[in-house]
Structures are given as structure tokens and as C-alpha cells.
Structure 1
Amino acid sequence: MGKKIGRVLLIVIINVVVIVALLEIGLRLLAPNLPGQIGVAARYVTTGQPYSESWTPAWQRSSDHFYALRPGLEDDLQYGSATVSFHVSTIELWEGGGIGFRTDPVDFAPDAVVVGDSFGFCFTERVDCWVDQLSAATGKRLVNLSQPVTGTTSHERILRDFGAPLEPPLVLWQFFGNDFNDDYGLAVSRDEVADVAAEAETEAANDSGLGDWLRHNSATYAVIETLFTGLYLGTPESEALYIKPLSVTYGSNNEYLLQFGGAYEQSALDMSLEQNQIGLGLSRQAFEDAQALVAGWGGEIAVIIMPTREEVYAHLTAPIMGQDAVDRLASARIAMHDLCDALSLRCYDPIEPFTERALQGEALYHSDDMHLNAHGNAVLADLLQDWLDW
């Protein structure tokens, strides 16, 4: 009897091992095409990154701007998140400029130049970017100088070096709440201010035990754990800023997904933090310098203040993450409004019309990335056309 039970157990164990092995092989083969977070988990195990294809960021570190676009790109594949991809081409405005721009060669007198960060650069195909849609709808000639991962200090330098020679009558200045934090980060990298945000080293949350080993080496384990937790727990620290731990569905048929509540935004936009207050002071100086610069050729600055997804969809996000967390995100946007008043800047904030559309179930932002999707860019372009009276 005992031998019979032993044989049965052995057969069961062998079958389990075979099934697990086949599942592991299948998940590894299917990893590039698996959807959602299970695809992210499987790709991290098999390739070390969450994307369906390999790619190189269009932006690189810059001592003057924090980051800057590489010139000479031709339809390069880019990712904003595991599900958001687009293509980027860049030019130099003139030979030897050293920085790429997502715009056309400038052989005309522009009606306006645009400076800003990734919200001005746009995490969409270029034809869907609000800058290009605004130009197409109005016939106005725009030069887009926006650079991802940059703040106000960088935008003033870009305007001085590349926009000023064009002497545009209007400078469209796109602002997002992490610009203060980016100004601080740039100043720290240049040893211009102390790194007040530096923290003492702590032990990693995940130890080197069996579970952590399986999480990084077994697609089967990673996928099963992700199905239960909703999030791949083995994301490397270098990618952690892209993680949105909370989610909600919306739309007339719950056809849209909003993943939100990223730790990066909660820190980078929180104006109660000393580093962001330091950045605010640096931003104020940059705006003052830009005002003097643009006044020198008789131009005008118009600031576009971009709200976060969590604020626009607060009717969905606040019940989950808490109103206090949403208010922390809003604090940077409110600080920019105060700066607009203090410096007599002409500023526009689309949060009210965005919120109205959000309440109607429209998807204005990518599901797992902080930036506007193609529809959100189109809505912004329409709103700016009315605000600018073009």
C-alpha cells in the first residue's frame, strides 16, 4: 500500500514539475505580447525591462539642463510606460547647437516658440501633440523647444540660447508641478545647492531570500504573484518612478483604466518639502530673467499650467488615495498660480474644463503614464486656441 501511494505521489510531482516547466517556457516565449502587469512581470524576468521592444531614450544627461534631447533622431521608438509608445525625430536648429528639438527646421519668422518639459514635448506621436495640433488648427507657425525631464531654469536657458535669436512675439511656456523639483535637482547636480533631500542608506525592502530570487528569475512565480498583488514587486529602483500602485476603471462602460498614486509625484510635487521650496525660488528667478529677456524684443510670455491626472480625476482618485494626497499634488500647481500673480505673468490652467470632461467619462491621460494622450492633447489645443484668441 505504501509503495502504491509513493508511486502516485511521484507521478503527481512529476506532472506538477512538467506543467510548471511548460508554463515557464510558454510565459517566456509569450512575454513580449502579454498584456498589462503580467506582461510587465514576465518581461522583467526574461529581458530585465518591461517593454515589448528594446529602445534607447531620446534624452540624455546634460550639465546645463538636467536632460536634453539627442539631435539627429529619425523616427526612434520611445516608451513612456510599458503600454505607451511613440516615435521621435529631432533636429538641431543650427549646426553645432548640440541639442535636438522635436520641431521643423526654422526657415521662417515664428508666431511663437514653446518651451517646457515632457508635457510640451508630448508623449504621443508628433502629429497628436497639442503644439502641432494648435499650429495646424490656427495656421500659426510654432517652434517647439520643449525638453523632457527639465525644469524652469532649463527652460529659461533654452529660451535664451535658442528662442531669443528668433525674437518671437509670443513665448508659450508650459509648466508642470515637478518643474520646481527639477530645478532643485539640476542645482544639486551642479553643486549649486545642498542636497537636503538626501537620505541615509537603508536596507532594501526585499531581502535576498527565495521569494526574491524567484521573483527575478521565474516568469511563472512573477506572473502568479502579480495576479494576486496587481503589481510586479521586483521592479528595479531605476524604474520605480514609473510605478502607479493604485487603479480605477471609468467611462460609460468602464472601458478606461487609470493607474495613479505614484510615489515620485507624491514627493516631487509636494510643496511642504524643503527641496521643492528651494526649487520654487530658483524657478522664480528664472521666470524673472525670462521676463526681462522677452521684454527686450517686445515679446510676451504666456504660461500653460498642466494639472495632474489625480487632480483632474479627483472624483475617482480621492476616495482611494485620500484627499490629502491629492492636495499635496495640487500644491505645486497652486504655488505656480501664486507665482503668476506675484510676477504678473499671463497664465492659463485647464483644470476646470479638463475636470468637466473627466466627469463625463472622457480619457484625457494615458492609463499608466502621467502625460496627456492624443485626445487630451487635442482638447488642450482647442482650449488654448480659445484662450489665445487665435
Structure 2
Amino acid sequence: MATPLEIGERAAVAAVRPRTRRLRLSIGAMLLAAVASVLAIEVALATMPRALVPAPLRTIETFHTRRAQWEALITGDRYLGFKLRPDLDMRFPFEGGAVPIRTVSHGLGDVGFRDIGTGAPYGAIVVGDSFAFCDEVVAEECWVRRLSDATGVSMATLGVSGYSTLAEARMLRRYGPAFGSRLVIVGVFPNDLADNVNFANWAREGDDNFRRWLVRKRQPHPGAVWLSQNSSVYRLLATAFEARARAVHRHREGDLELVLRFDDWWMKAVTAPEQHPGWPLMREALLDMRQAAEGMGARLAVVIFPTKEDAYIDIARRSVAGLDHLDVDRLPRLLGGFLAEHGIAACDVTGEIREHARRGRQLYYKISGHFNEEGNRVAAAAVQRCLDAGGLLPASAPPRGR
């Protein structure tokens, strides 16, 4: 027979049980309503005419589409990390609109290079990242094409968006000799420091696809990766959280409209580049490229490109706290000193780009950190003056049809 205490406990449990059940049902209903709301938003965004989608979300979706299509452009490579596929002909979504992108193999097998409309024999080749690939502009506006047209020296670009200096050195080693060029131009950008660290870590781990490896490192949870690929709401929320960790300045003055982002990689490259773990890797890669160029019977010239934030630093200093005493030219000086010490020609276009920026010229896209058509034009002219002054341009030759 139950004691009074046991009877009381049973009564208390019996009284609580319905409330617990109701609480669970309420929580379940709220979760179901939240999921239904998110799905409704997803469907609305997917079916809504693009012109009616809020501008911030359109920008996020453009960059997501671009990333997804970029993966279709490339394939893994155990030596290079990844490479472009050959014989592609597509329109690629950029901030300024869809841009035609064609790749050719130059007879070098299962590899692609951006076709900028030049032809063999190539007096010069250009290696680098997105600034050598000429992201965001049509081939005719690419600074490499402009430089080729202006000098009469046919040039091919071996640039690949997302490459590090280490990967560029490997690209030059593997494919450079086949072009028979007498000049090798290497584009260097401040984010190469961080990219070098990532590439070195990938090389040690032995994966056969750098891009896939990098996605896993940045987002190890497969569920989050799936959501980033399939959910507009998730991408919007993730971007909002990322933006909270950034110092961002939006500037509009006359025809000039900029979004300046002072990301962590930029701050590290600017404040103490000589202490950056990617700096010795960059030095190693540049010396390797000098040796490779010499083996080809070619001269090596390094072009130093500034970030949008470097170019418009005067605007940034007026508007963003903490930038007043920041020496944004520290990395170009460090790099220039190293190149001079090792007899490598340097073309630092930072000064000319910044001078045009001070005149209120729009040289980069509003959101993207890449040159627009005007930026490519200014860069081509600056590089040409540098190469002319150094006597680095080989004799021009009429191109042969491909």
C-alpha cells in the first residue's frame, strides 16, 4: 500500500505531465512555424523577379552564383591545387554584369588559360591571381591585353583567380617554358601573404584539390556547407554575421561610389608584413620564379598591385577611426627592397593608381576589390612606362594565328 508521501509524489507527477506535454507541443508548433516561414521566404525569393529582390540580397546571390560557377570552371590538381578547364566558353556573373570567359589550352593538354584575344608567338607571359586573370572585365579591357596592344608584344595570361605566389611559381615551372617568352611578368597582391599560408598547409596535407580542402577548413560542418549552397536565408544571415566583424566604410561622392572593407587579412598585411608567416613563402616563390625565368632565357618583372583600400586610403582615413597613422605602403616598400636586393625588376603601380584615385576616379568596382575598365587602363599604362624605363620589353613580333 502506498504511503501518503508516495501518493503525493504521484499526484504531482500526474499534474505536471499534461503541462509538459503542452509545452512540448507548443515548442514543436513554434519550430514548425519557423521552418514554414523560412521555407516561405526561400520560395518567395526564388520566384520573385530579380528587380524586386532587395539590393543587398542581389549582391550576395551574385557572389554565390559566381562562386558556384567558378567551381565549374576549375578542376583539382595535385601539384597546382587547382587549374582552369580548357575550351570553356561561358558568361560569368560579375558585379558589373555577365562577362564572356573563354579558355584555351595553348596545346598544353588538360589545362585552360583565359583567352584574351592574343596569339603566338608570345613575347611575354603573365602569371598571378585574379588581377592577372582580369576578373570582372571583358578580355579587350584586361590590362594584359591593353599592354599587349600598346607595345606590339603579344602576351598570354596564365593568371588564375585565387592563386597564391607559391601556386604561381608552380604554374610557371610547369607551363612557362612551352611559351618560349623572353619576359615573365608576375602580379603580386597583398592577399598573397595569407594565400601562401593556406597553400603551404594544403601542400603538406596532400589533398588533390586545394579549393575543396579550403572549404572544409573554413567550414568543417557539412550541414553548414549544404545550407550555404542551397539557402538564400542562410547566406544572408551568414553574411550579416561576417559583416559585424569587419570595419566597412561606404563612400559616395559625385560619380565615385565605394565600399571599403578593412578585413583581418588586410590589416595583417599592412601593419606588419615582415612578420607575416606568408612573407618568407612569398620570398621563396619569387626566387623560384626568378630561377625558372632564367632557365627559360627570360627576364622576370614583378608588378605590385594595390588593394582598393590602399588606393583610396585618403578617403578611408577621413572616415574610419584608427587608420590615421597606418603605413599602407609598408608592404610595397618591403617587397621592393627584397626585389632590388635580388636583382628582380619591380613595377609598383601603387603610386599611379593612388594619384588617379585622389582625382576622384572610379578605378575599382563599388563592392568588388577588382579593377574596373578604367583601373585596367591606368594599370596597363603604368606597367608599360615601368617596362619601357627598364628596357624589359622584348622585340615585338607579328602574332601567328592560333
| Aligned equivalent of 2:343 | 344
Confirm or deny: 8 A CA contact 1:32 1:53 kept in the other structure: no
Structure 1 segment 222-261 matched on structure 2, within 5 A: 232-235=236-239, 246-251=248-253, 253=254, 255-261=255-261
Cα RMSD after superposing both structures: 4.1
How far is 1:366 from its partner? 0.8
With over 3 angstroms needed to count, the CA separation of the structure-2 counterparts of 1:56 and 1:304, relative to structure 1, is closer
- Map of 2:82 onto structure 1: 67
Q: Which amino acid aligns with 1:260?
A: L
SS in 1 for 2:103: coil
After superposition, the C-alpha distances for 1:67-121 in whole angstroms (9 at most, x for unaligned) are 32222210x232355x55422110112252x221013698633211111110010
The residue that corresponds to 1:3 in the other structure is none
For the residue of structure 2 that corresponds to 1:190, the secondary structure is helix
For 2:203 and 2:182, locate their aligned partners in 1 and report how far apart those are by CA, in whole Å: 32
Q: Report the Cα offset of residue 373 of structure 1.
A: 0.5
Quote the residue 1:5 is aligned against: none
**Offset at 1:33?**
5.5
Select which of 216, 222, 226 maps to 2:233.
216
Aligned counterparts, 1:1-390, within 5 A? 29-31=48-50, 34=53, 36-40=55-59, 51=65, 55-57=69-71, 58-74=73-89, 76-81=90-95, 85-96=98-109, 98-103=110-115, 108-123=120-135, 124-191=137-204, 216=233, 232-235=236-239, 246-251=248-253, 253=254, 255-263=255-263, 265-266=265-266, 269=269, 272=272, 277-324=276-323, 327=326, 330-389=329-388
Name the CA distance, whole Å, in 2 between partners of 1:199 and 1:328: 31
Q: SS of the counterpart of 1:284?
A: helix
Distance (Å, rounded) in 2 between the aligned partners of 1:53 and 1:178: 18
In structure 2, the partner of 1:15 is none
SS at match of 1:72: coil
Note if contact 1:358-1:364 (Cα within 8 Å) is conserved in structure 2: yes
Deviation at 1:62, TM superposition (A): 3.6
Instruction: Give 2:258's aligned amino acid.
Output: L
| Distance change in 2, residues 1:191/1:26 (3 Å) | closer
Q: Deviations over 1:159-189 (max 9, x none)?
A: 1111123331111111111112212111101
Q: Contact conserved, 1:135 with 1:142, CA < 8 A, in 2?
A: yes
Alpha-carbon shift at residue 131 of structure 1 (Å):
0.5
SS at 1:158 equivalent = helix
Judging by fraction of residues, say which structure has more helix: 2
Q: What is the aligned partner in structure 1 of residue 27 from structure 2? A: none
CA gap of 1:316–1:267, structure 2 versus 1, over 3 A, is closer
Shift of 1:145: 0.8
Cα 1:326–1:113 shift into 2, 3 Å? farther
Task: Please tell me whether the aligned partners of residues 73 and 88 of structure 1 are also in contact (alpha carbons under 8 angstroms).
Answer: yes
Does the 8 A contact of 2:268 with 2:276 survive in 1? no
After TM superposition, the structure 1 stretch with the greater mean CA deviation from structure 2, 28-37 or 374-383, is 28-37
Identity, in percent, stands at 23
Distance 1:34 1:131 in 2: 36
Alpha-carbon deviations, 1:260-280, whole Å to 9, x = none?
Answer: 215354367356489x73322
Q: Could you tell me the TM-score, scaled by structure 1's length?
A: 0.71
- Residues paired across the two proteins, number: 330
Structure 2 length-normalised TM: 0.69
Could you tell me which runs of 5 or more consecutive residues in structure 2 were left unpaired when the two chains were aligned: 1-39, 207-215, 222-230, 394-402
Matched residues in 2 for 1:72 and 1:201: separation? 32
Tell me, in whole angstroms, the C-alpha distance in 2 between the residues paired with 1:202 and 1:134. 43
| Residues 294-331 of structure 1, C-alpha deviations (whole Å, 9 max, x = no match) | 22343211110001111110111123334549947654
Distance across 1 between alignment mates of 2:218 and 2:115: 43
Native 8 Å contact 2:104 2:114 kept in 1:
yes
Letter aligned with residue 257 of structure 2 = L
SS in 1 for 2:48: helix
3-state SS of paired residue (1:247)? strand
Task: Give the SS at the match of 1:168.
Answer: coil
